[in-house]
């Protein structure tokens, strides 16, 4: 029998935030998971009530609460819609860490996070081997989307996944240090795992764009995952290791902004590094905070710091119809929605059209997709329907994880819609300038 009193004591850390929930239930109207299941334990109010129950020592075993707490995309829709301003994500992330530290990490997650993810060089090597041998286990299904599926019965189930790139971004650009050009600005570029391993084309588009605008770029050799997969599972050890690893790479160099093309990395570095980092020296914490302050989404950087504007209307000729999906980590977490649209509309070859519920979560949620694929797909299918209903032949977004999910949904439905990153769309227009 576990000592629930001890766990309750640990959860005191979030008590002041928990009591803010007035149980009005308004989170039900925006929660993508609740919309599918109708279960109170799947919505923020229910999860907050469960944490309160743990705090009041109402349960004999915390694993039931832990399970239900994991059934959350961390999309932030509830927090953005909460009348009381409950900091739902802060509470959930802290609570996951507290409970996981208390009951322990599952053996599988221990291997993935502590033996692989927290050792970036080994992680890179493993996935490079994976890239070389993936042809044995997977077969291509959709050329346009670049998706594949398993050849044999596999833990990946029916997924149509975007294959690992033949050459990861870090092999194409092991490191970089170019001086500021005409813009007078220099940025550090944080690649992120999915861009590095699956969509290096996003990284190259970003570099091409920055070079075009005379922005100097620094990419350190020592760079790793931003840590969100580990933190979402409550593994603060791995999260802290990764922060320190990245700090070593970026920390002491001079640059104006830290730019990323991944909504999740941006949000994690900006909001979670300074608040969730533990056991850092005061000096390290100051550097983390300084990095967080400098961190920007690439579209935001281009619009706000470089001055990219939408192309003036009036050109003739055939235009490709394009729509945009708002990643939760960009819009709901950081309030960035206009800038990516501006960047897309800076390419005159496209005509922009809003889809219905553009800011509704695509259902990916990182590890949520791995753990609850059926639920993740059910949510993703609504996104696919809205994309198809828009009549567009391209859907852009600003998060490579959303790209994986949207590609899966479109590929499974056999839709002929391309999935691209906003920066790719913009970079295409530079070829013509």
Partner 1 sequence: MISQAVIKEFERILGKEKVFLDETDRHTYSYDAAVLEPVLPSVVLRPTSSEELGRLVRICNENSIPLTVRGAGTNLSGGTIPKKGGAVVLTNALNKILEINTEDLYAIVQPGVVTAKFAAAVEAKGLFYPPDPGSQAVSTLGGNVAENAGGLRGLKYGVTRDYVMGLEFFDVNGEIVKTGSRTVKCVTGYNLAALMVGSEGTLGVFDKIILKLIPMPTGRKAMMAIFDNVIKASETVAAIIAHRIVPATLEFMDNFTIRTVEDYSRVGLPTDAAALLLIEVDGHPAQVEEDAAKVESICREMGAMKIRVAQDAAERDKVWEARRAALSALAKLKPTVVLEDATVPRSKIPAMIQALEEISRRFNLTIGTFGHAGDGNLHPTILTDKRNKEEWHRVEAAIDAIFDKALGLGGTLSGEHGIGMAKSRYLEKETSKGTILFSRRIKAALDPKGILNPGKIIGE
Q: Report, in Å, the least distance between residue 30 CB and partner 1.
A: 8
Single out the segment in contact with partner 1 by CB under 8 A; choices: 45-53, 209-217, 266-274, 408-416. Answer: 45-53
User: Taking the complex as a whole, how short is the minimal distance between the CB of residue 303 and partner 1, in angstroms?
Assistant: 24
Q: How far is the CB of 105 from partner 1 (least distance, A)?
A: 20
175 to 18, 212, 221, 318, 404: CA distances (angstroms):
44, 19, 5, 39, 26
Q: How far is the CB of 417 from partner 1 (least distance, A)?
A: 28
DSSP letter (8 states) at residue 349: T
Q: How far is the CB of 285 from partner 1 (least distance, A)?
A: 28
CB nearer to partner 1: give 28 or 339: 28
Listed residue (270, 195, 272, 287) closest to 232, CA to CA: 272
Q: Select from 9, 29, 106, 275 the one that contacts partner 1 (CB under 8 A).
A: 29
Q: How many residues bind partner 1 (CB under 8 A)?
A: 29
Position 39 contacts partner 1 (CB under 8 A): yes
Going by C-alpha positions, the residue among 306, 366, 411, 405 that lies closest to residue 96 is 366
Residue 154 CB, nearest distance to partner 1 (Å)? Answer: 26
Cβ neighbours of residue 126 under 8 Å, at least 6 residues apart? 116
Round the CA-based radius of gyration of the chain to a whole number and report it: 21
The dihedral region occupied by 48, where left means phi > 0, alpha psi between -120 and 50, and beta the remainder, is: alpha
Least gap, CB of 38 to partner 1 (angstroms): 5
Please, are residues 249 and 271 in contact by the beta-carbon 8 Å criterion?
Answer: no
Contact 11, 95 (CB under 8 A): yes
Contact 55, 11 (CB under 8 A): yes
Kindly provide the b/e burial profile for residues 388-408, where b requires at least 16 CB atoms within 10 angstroms of the residue's own CB. bebebebbbbbbbbbbbbbbb
Nearest approach, Cβ of residue 331 and partner 1 (Å): 19
Smallest distance, partner 1 to C-beta of residue 7, A = 14
Does the footprint of partner 1 cover residue 347 (CB under 8 A)?
no
Which range binds partner 1 by CB under 8 A, 48-56, 236-244, 308-316, 325-333?
48-56
- Residue whose C-alpha is closest to residue 75's, from 337, 360, 270, 356: 360
Pick 46 or 380: Cβ nearer partner 1: 46
Comparing CB distances to partner 1, the nearer of 65 and 73 is 65
Is 25 among the residues that bind partner 1 (CB under 8 A)? Answer: yes
Contact 203, 221 (CB under 8 A): no
**Stretch near partner 1 under the rule CB under 8 A, chosen from 39-47, 264-272, 392-400, 421-429:** 39-47
Cβ 385 to partner 1 shortest distance, Å: 17
Closer by beta carbon to partner 1, 24 or else 111: 24
**Per-residue contact string for residues 65-84; x = within reach of partner 1 by CB under 8 A:** x-xx--------------xx
* Nearer to partner 1 among residue 39 and residue 309 (C-beta): 39
156 in helix, strand or coil?
coil
Q: Which residues pair with 189 in a beta bridge?
A: 259
CA 408 to centroid of chain Cα atoms: 16
Q: Using the rule CB under 8 A, is 318 a contact of partner 1?
A: no
CA separation (Å) from 399 to 99, 122, 405, 433? Answer: 29, 25, 10, 26
Nearer to partner 1, 30 or 195 (CB): 30
Please report how close the Cβ of residue 18 comes to partner 1 at its closest, in angstroms: 9
Q: Does 373 bind partner 1 (CB under 8 A)?
A: no
59 binds partner 1 (CB under 8 A): yes
Question: By C-beta, is 65 or 262 nearer to partner 1?
Answer: 65
Q: Which stretch binds partner 1 (CB under 8 A): 44-52, 199-207, 264-272, 407-415?
A: 44-52
CA distance 258 to 305: 12
**Single residue of 10, 13, 20, 428 touching partner 1 by CB under 8 A:** 20
Yes or no: say if 96 and 69 are a contact pair by the CB < 8 Å rule. Answer: yes
**Spatial separation of the C-alpha atoms in residues 44 and 91, rounded to whole Å:** 10
46 binds partner 1 (CB under 8 A): yes
Q: How far is the CB of 27 from partner 1 (least distance, A)?
A: 8
Which residues, 116 to 155, sit near partner 1 by CB under 8 A?
Answer: none
| Sites for partner 1 among residues 386-415 (CB under 8 A) | none
- First-residue to last-residue Cα distance in the chain: 68
Give the sign of the dihedral formed by CA 394, CA 400, CA 405, CA 407. Answer: positive
Residues that bind partner 1 (CB under 8 A): 16, 19-20, 22-26, 28-29, 38-41, 45-46, 49-50, 53, 58-60, 64-65, 67-68, 83-85
């Amino acid at each position: 029998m576990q000592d629930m009193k001890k766990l309750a004591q640990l959860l005191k850390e979030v008590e002041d935030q928990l009591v803010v929930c007035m149980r009005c239930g308004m989170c039900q109207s925006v929660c993508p998971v609740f919309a599918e299941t109708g279960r109170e334990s799947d919505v923020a109010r229910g999860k907050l009530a469960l944490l309160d129950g743990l705090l009041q020592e109402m349960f004999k075993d915390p694993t039931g609460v832990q399970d239900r707490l994991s059934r959350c995309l961390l999309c932030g829709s509830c927090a953005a819609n909460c009348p009381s301003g409950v900091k739902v994500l802060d509470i959930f992330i802290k609570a996951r860490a507290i409970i996981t530290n208390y009951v322990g990490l599952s053996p599988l997650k221990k291997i993935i996070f502590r033996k692989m993810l927290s050792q970036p060089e080994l992680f890179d090597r493993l996935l490079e081997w994976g890239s070389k041998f993936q042809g044995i286990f997977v077969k291509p299904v959709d050329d346009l989307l670049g998706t594949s599926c398993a050849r044999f019965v596999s833990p990946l189930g029916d997924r149509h996944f975007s294959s690992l790139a033949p050459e990861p971004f870090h092999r194409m650009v092991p490191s970089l240090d170019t001086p500021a050009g005409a813009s007078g600005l220099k940025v550090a570029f944080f690649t992120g795992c999915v861009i590095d391993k699956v969509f290096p084309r996003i990284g190259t588009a970003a570099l091409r764009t920055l070079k075009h605008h005379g922005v100097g770029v620094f990419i350190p050799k020592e760079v790793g995952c931003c840590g969100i997969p580990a933190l979402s599972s409550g593994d603060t050890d791995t999260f802290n290791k990764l922060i320190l690893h990245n700090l070593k790479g970026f920390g002491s160099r001079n640059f104006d902004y830290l730019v990323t093309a991944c909504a999740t990395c941006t949000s994690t570095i900006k909001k979670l590094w300074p608040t969730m980092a533990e056991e850092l020296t005061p000096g390290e914490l100051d550097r983390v905070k300084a990095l967080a302050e400098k961190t920007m989404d690439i579209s935001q950087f281009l619009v706000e710091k470089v001055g990219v504007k939408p192309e003036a209307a009036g050109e003739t000729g055939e235009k490709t119809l394009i729509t945009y999906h708002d990643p939760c980590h960009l819009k709901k977490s950081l309030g960035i929605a206009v800038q990516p649209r501006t960047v897309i509309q800076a390419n005159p070859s496209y005509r922009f059209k809003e889809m219905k519920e553009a800011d509704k979560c695509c259902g990916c949620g990182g590890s949520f997709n791995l753990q609850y694929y059926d639920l993740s797909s059910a949510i993703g299918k609504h996104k696919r329907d809205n994309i198809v209903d828009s009549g567009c032949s391209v859907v852009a977004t600003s998060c490579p994880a959303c790209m994986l999910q949207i590609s899966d949904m479109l590929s499974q439905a056999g839709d002929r819609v391309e999935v691209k990153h906003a920066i790719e769309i913009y970079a295409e227009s530079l070829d013509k300038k």
